[in-house]
């Protein structure tokens, strides 16, 4: 499910957003050799590279990305934090704090609408574990023949705050079997529920399938901030939401879930599907 959230009273400072957009554009415009200093390592997820690479002979998405774990702070690996432009690390740090604050507000509002104690929902996200993925989609004349980011749901994510970082649209969500373009509202995040939220809420929030398309003439930039779940926690319907009703998902450790997610092939049923109780 995608829903635009206007951050009235919860504004992330405009200058920070602008700084992030410009730092990120400067970074992706660096020569390849410079970005390679921050390249993903084999079997690693962080750094500069491509999304969803699971085999050597797959067709790659038409995008570069850079992913860093940002929270909890002690789990950061600064080796993957870009040093150019010089302001980038500081900007990411500030943005990470703001995104955490916004995610906490959203969780509190959700707890209320789900009629579950805020503490119970927040417990699943202790430490507000967070990662930031910056996506860069180069233009492609044959844009109809490539896809920027293949259809997916945000698998290990609970909530994704998506910020389109320039004025080129490309996000589409699957709605009733059709791909529907999403036009971001100025000054608003696009908030996406991920698979983890669907499981925790026993399906009350649905994790929406989405993809990113390519523009024939212009590059596109986006920043996805993922709220993960507590590393040593269990992923399953929250008792406070179930209130004794039928569970639609089995419960699994988040560690095992992550392992399975990152080693499974892109095609085939998702972990979410495998966890469903029919």
Ligand X SMILES: O=C(O)CCC(=O)C(=O)O
Residues of the shown chain interacting with ligand X in the complex, contacts defined by CB under 6 A = 133, 135, 149, 154, 162, 170-171, 210, 212, 222, 224
What residue 212 binds from Fe ion, ligand X, none (CB within 5 to 8 A, per partner kind)? ligand X
Q: Quick check: 61 binds Fe ion (CB under 5 A)?
A: no
What residue 208 binds from ligand X, Fe ion, none (CB within 5 to 8 A, per partner kind)? none
* Alpha carbon distances (Å) from 268 to 110, 168, 271, 276: 31, 31, 9, 15
Distance, in Å, from the CA atom of 76 to the CA atom of 190, rounded to the nearest integer, reads 25
Structural tokens at position 64:
């570069």
70 CB burial (10 A radius; 0-12, 13-18, 19+): buried
Nearer CB in complex with Fe ion: 12/224: 224
What residue 235 binds from Fe ion, ligand X, none (CB within 5 to 8 A, per partner kind)? none
CB distance 135 to 222 below 8 Å? yes
Nearer CB in complex with ligand X: 12/149: 149
* Residue closest to Fe ion when measured from CB atoms: 154
Structural tokens at position 113:
């609408």
Distance, in Å, from the CA atom of 16 to the CA atom of 117, rounded to the nearest integer, reads 33
In the complex, what is the shortest distance from the CB of residue 148 to ligand X, in angstroms, rounded to a whole number? 7
- For the chain, how many residues are written? 278
Nearer CB in complex with Fe ion: 67/88: 67
In the complex, what is the shortest distance from the CB of residue 152 to Fe ion, in angstroms, rounded to a whole number? 6
Contact string 125-164 vs Fe ion (x = CB under 5 A): -----------------------------x----------
84 CB burial (10 A radius; 0-12, 13-18, 19+): middle
């Amino acid at each position: 499910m995608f829903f635009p959230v206007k951050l009235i009273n919860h504004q992330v400072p405009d200058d920070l957003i602008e700084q992030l957009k410009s730092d990120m554009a400067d970074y992706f415009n660096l020569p390849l050799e410079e970005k390679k200093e921050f390249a993903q390592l084999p079997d690693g997820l962080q750094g500069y590279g491509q999304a969803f690479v699971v085999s050597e002979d797959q067709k790659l998405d038409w995008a570069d990305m850079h992913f860093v774990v940002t929270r909890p702070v002690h789990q950061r690996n600064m080796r993957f934090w870009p040093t150019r432009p010089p302001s980038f690390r500081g900007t990411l740090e500030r943005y990470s704090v703001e995104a955490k604050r916004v995610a906490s507000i959203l969780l509190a509002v959700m707890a209320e609408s789900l009629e579950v104690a805020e503490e119970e929902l927040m417990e699943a996200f202790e430490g507000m574990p967070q990662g930031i993925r910056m996506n860069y989609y180069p233009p492609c004349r044959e844009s109809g023949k490539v896809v920027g980011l293949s259809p997916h749901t945000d698998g290990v994510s609970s909530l994704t705050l998506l910020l389109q970082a320039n004025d080129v649209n490309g996000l589409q969500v699957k709605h009733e079997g059709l791909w529907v373009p999403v036009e971001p509202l100025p000054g608003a995040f696009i908030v996406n529920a991920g698979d983890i939220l669907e499981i925790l809420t026993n399906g009350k929030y649905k994790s929406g399938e989405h993809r990113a398309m390519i523009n024939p003439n212009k590059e596109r930039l986006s920043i996805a901030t993922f709220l993960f779940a507590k590393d040593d926690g269990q992923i399953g319907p929250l008792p406070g939401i179930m209130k004794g009703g039928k569970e639609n998902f089995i419960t699994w450790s988040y560690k095992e879930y992550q392992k399975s997610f990152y080693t499974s092939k892109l095609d085939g049923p998702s972990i979410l599907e495998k966890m469903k109780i029919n």
